[in-house]
Amino acid sequence: MFTVFIDQFWQLTVSGIALGFIYVLIALGYTMVYGVLRMINFANSEIFMWGTFGAIVASRDLFGYNQTSEPAHGAKLALVLFVQLFASMAFAGLTAVTVEFVAYRRLRAKGTNRLATLISAIGMSMVLSEVMRLLTASRPVGSPRILEKVILVEVWGAQIRLDTLITIVAAGAIFIILERFVKLSRMGKAIRAVSMNEDAAKLMGINLNRVITTTFLVGGLATGAAGFFYVTVYEYTKFNIGFTMGLAAFTAAVIGGIGNIRGAFFGGVALGLAEVYASAILGTQWKSVTIFIVLVLVLLFKPSGLFGEAVTQTRA
Amino acid sequence: MKNFNLRDFGAGIWERSNRYQRIAIVLLVITLAALLPFAGASFLATPVAAYDAVLVYPVAIFVLMSLGLNIVVGKSGMLDLGYVAFFAIGAYTNGLLSMHTGLNTWEIMPIGIGAAMFAGVLLGIPTLRLRGDYLAIVTLGFGEIIRIVALNVSWTNGPNGISGIQMPPPILGKEFALDDQKLFFWVVLVMILLTIWMIRRLTVRRPGRAWEAIRQDEDAAELMGVPTLKYKIWSFTLGAAIGGAAGVLYAAKNLFISPEMFTLNVSILILACVVFGGIGNIWGVILGGAILGYLPDRIRFISDARLLVFGLVLVVVMNFRPDGLLPRKKREKALIKKGANA
Amino acid sequence: MSKVLLKLENLTMKFGGVTALNEVNLEIHEGEILALIGPNGAGKTTVFNVITGVYQATSGSVTFDGHNLAGRKRFQITGLGVARTFQNIRLFGDMTTLENVITATDVHKKSGLVGALFGTPRARREEKENRAKAHEILQFIGIDEYADRLAKNLPYGVQRRLEIARAMGTSPKLLLLDEPAAGFNPQEKVELAATIKKVRDAGYTVLLIEHDMSLIMGISDRVAVLDFGTKIADDSPAVVQNDPRVIEAYLGVPADAS
Amino acid sequence: MNKKIKASAAIVAAIALSFGAFATTSASAATKTFTLAYQGPLSGGEASTGIDEQNGVKYAIKVFEAANPGYKINLVSVDDEGDPAVASKVAPGVGTNTKIIGLIGPAYSGATIASLPYYKAGNLTVISPSATRVSLTDPKSPTAKSDYGRPIFHRVVATDDKQGPALAKFATDGVTSPKVFVFDDQSSYAVPLRGYVEAALKNVKGATVVGGGDSVPNTTTDFSPTIAKIKSSGANVVIYTGYYSQAAVFVKQLRDSGSTAVFAGGDGVFNQQFAVLAGKSGEGAKLTGVAGLADVDAKIEADFKAKIGVSSGVYAVESIDAANIFLSGIKAGKTTRAAINKWVKSYNFKGIAGANIKFNQHGDISEGGFAGFLVTGGKLVNKGPVA
């Protein structure tokens, strides 16, 4: 049972961290919105899915790649990857802002009815995934190999591949940029002000709609970046991939403490590792069960996640 | 009539009626519902799928499950995203018992309900201390766990599912038939009526007040002496019981069950029924279950874009009627009694 | 002197590094009105929260009517006979005034879910008793005319009174009132003072948090003063009023500064 | 009138409109009109399979109508989303709609089992192009009482217990002392097939099953734990029972990890799209399947593309064959459910792949088996039947 785990421990760890970094970025999408609106953005999984298509559209339609194309090298490689990343983020960011505008804004103006918002979000995610299903005729879409997956080094039996390295470094960098943005920029401060006290923030002259749109945009950009890495690593997407990835990322956000940006980071990495370890030890079929049991245990001892919600509202 | 709305209109009629008129109204409504399966030739007809079968599942069983989930989400304010778990437990209880024993549907029913309630208590005790969205994700996880277990252990036949479940034995000499599901619809209708009776009984008395207080302000409720955890577990368990009953019926109607029937989508769909119709209001929830159960089959002619339209309907209705089609009571008794229309 | 109903001994409450209550000792006697005063953030509401079980004390003990309250659940403490109101009104807005009170009267009833479902004689009887008792309390407080109105639609003053009525619904021995006069005009305050006296005369013991000095001086039997979590005075209103430490706490002028 | 009313009015209007748009299928004209149905996943995650199969059926009907003026065939699309729950919702309607005299499908075994009771009750003959579960035609299986489809169920596809040995044999062919790692995608297609493959491997000389296998939910795209298991077990052959899209994602990751183990898959992987999606990593993959339309007859494939507008997809040959059995029956004047059933039972003609189609008493075709395919140069190259 544990032979694979022991035998391949470092390889599993590397894979888990790489997967975890993708979760981190999607979790950021959930956590940003939750921090400000105290609401699960159920459509975030589909925003991610649209992000993956951004990368595909960029490579296919802008650079003319198809399934039989050769991988790119040097400056061209950097250019293609950069444009793909940009396209993924743009697709997802736009989708996120649209979701906010169509599914949430009106309800928010009417006051707080969390469940109506949740159902509206669920409806919106159905719309998003169905539109993509019709556009792709329900078929999986492959991405050509743009980045050659060279094994760079092998340490303790763990292969560090180029795509793994790029994912960890770039996703980490994007995370840090967004985290700094929320911490330091004027807009970021406004976002945090709203998340602490909406009414007070309004009184301070903060334009609530602009802040919320920005929050969705930032969350969408992070989620979109995750879409790019997903396509680069797995070279595949389909209209229904959002659900599984979204659920895992959301779980990660909750484990870390939803609404807490650092929590999203640790939650995401922890989930990536837990998933890979559990698959190796118990069999891949039990990975979700393991994750949910971990989740329940975490919540029983830390009812608002490992790092807690950014703002504790509990007052009695 | 400036602020006409259907809910208050209906409530108004009810408030103004005397005992005999009320009995007449109830009988009339029940009769109309019981006659529904005969309306198959009207505009209600469903393309492709058989109308009487659609009435049983999804429509009637969705209504039943929505009523059950409404106790949890609507009455006591706990967001449960794993309601399908209890449905699955009921269905699998029926499947396994009818495979291994000679018990019939009605004998299995109490066992299925009991199993679902037991699971409800088991899940409820550790998790119902959690609030809001944390509870939501934990229940969601529970629903997935049940499905994954059913998929991966051998005694449930794994992904192959359980086939050959017995049809219920005849009732009052009338046989259940595959090509005519009226009898089955009436059975589910009776279950729905029982559930409505139960909910109405409970809501006007102590449990209803406790749930309502918990929903509105859990801390205040506990400080006013409401044993909140106990009533939350009761609410959860009653919801589970109804979900389990629906599961037993579903397995008996379907004759075949497999894990892929019990995905998260079912939980979400039932929650959508509750919120769409009018959370907290029995009549709203019934309407929601009926419409959302029925609509996808009614609009099969737009086959490919069916789910797209369904999603759009959810978004539009929620945006224009956030409290659902028939929202929970908002007006005060005194005003209705006077028949005033402010 | 009558018997001690509630006793706080060396009560300390810490939140992380912040000490909200520091070794507080306090006794409340049966049948008195005790006012708890102090500047904002002095820890008054924290005292309420510890007594009612919202917080578990870091150290020290709370004894009520011979029962140690440590580790008891909130609803059990309410069942023993402690009830409170909230500074920021926390009524059940979607329930009627009457239902708010009945919810509280349920605490001493025996019938539960099964009784309600099958309409057992006991459940029916208890429902009737509840209803009668609730109306009685509403009449006592003087808001029975609002019985069928939704709580969220009531005028502000009535909501404040309903908070008291709801707490009385639990048949408490000790009533904790958290700033019941907040937002009242002088006329309403006078009426409220009369009501609180009436409540005490009906046999309840009252612990009151309030800022309005004239109200406190008018009705309290005793006044305790908290400052930064420490009790600095505990005596009759007249004595406390002239205590230099109390004046310092309120005005911020150190007594020995010169 | 306030906003609320306007809003609800709009909703009501929208619903009414969509109801109004529903018109009953037009009544039959002067020409002889008959109705067949296709059942399979036409929406949802599995839709591509159903759409491909239905295209095959549509093609067969077009060819038939062109060759036989005066005949008009209506095709009812029965969308079961590949989901037994949906199937049991739509099947009663199909079973009682006696206009439908024959049904091609259902595509999936689970949906078939859920539908069977209703079709048995209505004596509706079905011919499935792709439901491969053994119990459907096995009177001795423990679940025969419900699964056994006689007399109405037939299929023009070989069963899992035939494919298991074929796949085991083909995968290990030419590998000295094969150590085989087998894993599935948790679907009701893949899990039983994996069982048959593992059982058959016991009979392959020198072969051992290693690593304990794995069961990977078909929504997974990260196969690193599975690959870790494969490496740890030292397997030199990897067999996947699942579908082509996951297989392509997997085989890429397998090759990227430096593994050179033989990759093999069953008819779920057997799809031109596998080679396209997997690219270079797919080279040398061994697949078992039944030859596709393009492979069988390039001329028909060209005609198919001209008539339908897209290339043929999975199970195109089987779908066309199944449709042709019904169509020839209609031509022969068998236009009731009972007559069609008799016709199908005694059917004995060549299918488009050249082999004779004749059903045995359980509804299985007596001929037909699996061929082995090797992915070479991005194409699936037929290596001949595996017996």
Q: Is residue D40 part of a domain?
A: yes
Q: What is the pLDDT of residue B301?
A: 67
Task: Please state the domain count of chain D.
Answer: 2
How distant is the Cα of D194 from the closest Cα of chain B, in angstroms? Answer: 12
Whether the predicted pLDDT of B134 surpasses 90: no
Neighbours of B305 (CB within 10 A): 15
Tell whether D96 is covered by a domain: yes
**Residue C54 in contact with partner chain A when CB distance is under 8 A:** yes
Q: Which residues pair with C28 in a beta bridge?
A: C6
A304 close to B (CB below 8 A): yes
The neighbour count for residue C171, using CB atoms within 10 Å, is 17
Q: DSSP for A198-240? A: HHHHHHTT--HHHHHHHHHHHHHHHHHHHHHHHHHHH-EE-TT
CB contact under 8 A, D21 and B302: yes
Share of chain B above pLDDT 70, in %: 93
Residues of A in contact with B131 (CB under 8 A): 303
Please report the pLDDT score of residue C211 as a whole number: 84
Q: What is the pLDDT of residue B313?
A: 87
By the CB < 8 Å criterion, does A27 face chain B? no
**Residue B252 counted as domain residue:** yes
Residue range B275-281: average pLDDT?
88
Give strand pairing partners of D358. Answer: D348
Structural domain including B124 reads: 48-263
Q: Check residue B106 and give its pLDDT.
A: 93
Tell me the DSSP string of B224-271. Answer: TT--HHHHHHHHHHHHHHHHHHHHHHHHHHHSEE-GGGSSHHHHHHHH
Over range A156-181, report the average pLDDT: 90
Higher-pLDDT residue of D7, B144: B144
- Whether D75 and chain B come into contact, CB under 8 Å, resolves to no
Neighbours of D68 (CB within 10 A): 14
Q: Supply the pLDDT for residue D368.
A: 64
Confidence of residue B12 (pLDDT cuts 50, 70, 90): confident
Residue A18 has pLDDT above 90, yes or no: yes
> Cα distance from A267 to chain B (closest Cα, Å)?
15
Q: Above 50 in pLDDT, residue D191?
A: yes
> Letter for the amino acid at D61?
I
CA B103/CA B97 separation, integer angstroms: 7
- Looking at the complex, report in whole angstroms how far the Cα of residue D140 sits from the nearest Cα belonging to chain B: 14
Q: And the tokens for D253?
A: 């990751």
Spatial CA neighbour of B158 closest among A133, C181, A306, D193: D193
Beta strands in D222-366, from DSSP E residues, in sequence order? 237-241, 262-265, 286-289, 348-350, 356-358
- CA–CA separation, D22 and B82 (whole Å): 35
pLDDT tens per residue, range A232-250? 999 999 998 998 899 999 9
User: Which strand (E) or helix (H) includes residue A39?
Assistant: none
Q: Specify if D13 maps to a domain.
A: no
Report yes or no: C189 at the B interface, CB cutoff 8 Å.
no
Chains in contact with D, where contact means 3 or more Cβ–Cβ distances below 8 Å, are A, B
Claim to verify: residue D71 and residue D153 sit in the same structural domain = yes
Question: What single DSSP character describes residue D187?
Answer: S
Phi, psi of A308 (to 5 degrees): 75, 160
> What's the gap between Cα C128 and its chain centre?
27
Mark whether C and D touch (3+ CB pairs within 8 Å).
no
Cβ D88–B47 below 8 Å, yes or no?
Answer: no
- The shortest CB-CB distance from A285 to any of D186, D249, D258 is to D186
Cα–Cα distance measured from residue B18 to residue B20, given in angstroms and rounded to the nearest whole number: 6
Say whether residue D95 is in contact with chain B using an 8 A CB cutoff: yes
Chains touching A (at least 3 CB pairs under 8 A) are B, C, D
At A1, the pLDDT band (50, 70, 90 cuts) reads low
Q: Which residues constitute the domain of residue D331?
A: 32-158+296-354
D321 and D271: one domain? no
How much of chain D exceeds pLDDT 70, in percent?
Answer: 91
D55 lies in the same domain as D142: yes
Q: For residue D248, which residues of chain A lie inside 8 Å, CB to CB?
A: 140, 142, 236
- What residues contact B302, with CB distance under 8 A and at least 6 apart? B309, D18, D21
pLDDT digits (tens, 9 = 90+) for A290-307: 989 988 888 888 888 888
CB contact under 8 A, A12 and D47: no
- Taking the C-alpha atoms of residue B64 and residue B62, their distance in angstroms, rounded to an integer, is 5
Instruction: Pick the residue from chain A with its C-alpha nearest to C85.
Output: A316
CATH number, domain containing residue D178 = 3.40.50.2300
- D249-303 confidence digits (pLDDT tens): 999 999 999 999 999 999 889 888 899 999 899 999 999 988 778 878 889 999 9
Residue B206 placed within a domain: yes
Establish if B110 belongs to a structural domain.
Answer: yes
Interface check for A302 against chain B (CB to CB < 8 A): the answer is: no
Interface mutation vs chain C, best among B76, B205, B234, most C CBs within 10 Å = B205
Classify residue D314: in a domain, yes or no.
yes
Q: Which of D85, D117, D186 sits opposite B151 (nearest CB)?
A: D186
Identify the pLDDT of residue B335. 45
Same domain, yes or no, for D326 and D210? no
10 Å Cβ neighbour count for D226?
A: 27
pLDDT of residue B303: 60
Same-domain status, D165 and D202:
yes
Give chain B's domain count: 1
Q: How does DSSP classify residue C206?
A: E
DSSP state string for B293-304: HHHHHHTGGGGG
Instruction: Please tell me which residue of chain B has the smallest CA distance to C88.
Output: B220
Residue B225 lies in a domain: yes
pLDDT at position B4, please?
62
Mean pLDDT of the A210-225 span: 93
**Are residue D258 and residue D374 in the same domain, yes or no?**
yes
The pLDDT of residue D327: 95
Q: What is the DSSP string of A234-272?
A: H-EE-TT-HHHHHHHHHHHHHHH-TT-HHHHHHHHHHHH
- Cα–Cα distances in Å, from D133 out to B79, B149, B267, D161? 40, 22, 29, 8
Query: Angle C76-C79-C82 (CA atoms, 0-180°, nearest 5)?
Result: 100
Tell me the pLDDT of chain B averaged across its residues: 87
Chain B nearest-CA residue for C78: B225
Phi, psi of C203 (to 5 degrees): 110, 5
The average pLDDT across B126-145 equals 87
B171: helix, strand or coil: strand
Mutation target to probe the D interface, by most D beta carbons within 10 A, among A66, A69, A139 is A139
Q: Which of A118, A138, A243 is best to mutate for the B interface (most B CBs within 10 A)?
A: A118
Q: How many helices (H) and strands (E) does chain C have?
A: 10, 10
Contact predicate D277/D251, CB 8 Å: no
Q: Which of B144, B264, B315 sits opposite A127 (nearest CB)?
A: B315
Q: Measured between alpha carbons, how far is B178 from C4 in angstroms, rounded to an integer? A: 75
Residues in chain A with CB shorter than 8 Å from the CB of C55 are 316
pLDDT at residue number B48: 75
Cβ pairs A/B, distance under 8 A:
119
From A153-167, C135-149, D24-38, D58-72, the region with the lowest mean pLDDT: D24-38
Residue B29 within a domain: no
**Cα dihedral A30→A31→A36→A41 (10° resolution):** 10
- Is residue D27 in some structural domain? no
**Does D67 reside within a domain?**
yes
Q: Is the dihedral of CA B199, B203, B207, B210 positive or negative?
A: positive
D175 domain-assigned:
yes
Q: In chain D, positions 20-49, which contact chain A (CB-CB < 8 Å)?
A: 43-48
Asked if residue B171 belongs to a domain, the reply is yes
Indicate the residue of B202, B225, B228 with minimum beta-carbon distance to C107. Answer: B225
B325-337: burial string, b at 16+ Cβ within 10 Å, e else: bbbbeebebebbe
Alpha-carbon span C23 to C6, nearest angstrom: 16
Q: What is the pLDDT of residues D327-364, one digit of tens each?
A: 999 999 999 999 999 999 998 888 887 778 889 989 99
Domains of chain A are 3-313 (1.10.3470)
Is the distance from CB of D370 to CB of D168 less than 8 angstroms?
no
| C99-153 residue pLDDT tens | 999 999 998 888 888 888 888 888 889 999 999 999 999 999 999 999 989 998 9
**Residue B174 in domain:** yes
How far from the centroid of its chain's Cα atoms is residue C219's Cα?
15
Which residue on chain C is closest to A315 by alpha carbon? Answer: C54
Residue among A138, A236, A288 whose CB faces D277 most closely: A236
* Of the candidates D161, D156, D194, the residue with the CA atom closest to the CA atom of residue D321: D156
Question: Does residue D2 register a pLDDT over 60?
Answer: no
Please indicate whether, in this complex, the C-beta atoms of C103 and B209 are within 8 angstroms of each other.
yes
Q: Looking at the domain assignment, is residue B294 inside a domain?
A: no
CB within 8 A of B278, min separation 6: which ones?
Answer: B7, B284, B285, B287, B288, B323, B324, B325, B326, B327, B328
Average pLDDT of the residues in C214-236:
90
The per-residue pLDDT for range B39-49, each reduced to its tens digit, is 877 777 777 77
Interface test with B, best of D1, D8, D22 (most B CBs within 10 A): D22
Chain C contact partners (≥3 CB pairs within 8 A): A, B
Which of D222, D272, D310 best probes binding to A when mutated, by most A CB atoms within 10 angstroms?
D222
Instruction: Tell me, yes or no, whether D249 and D174 share the same domain.
Output: yes
Q: What is the pTM of this model?
A: 0.89
Chain D positions touching A138 (Cβ under 8 A) are 43-48, 51
Residue D6 lies in a domain: no
Closest chain B residue by Cα to residue A40: B133
* CB D168 within 8 Å of CB D286: no
Reported as a pLDDT band with limits 50, 70 and 90, residue B80 is very high
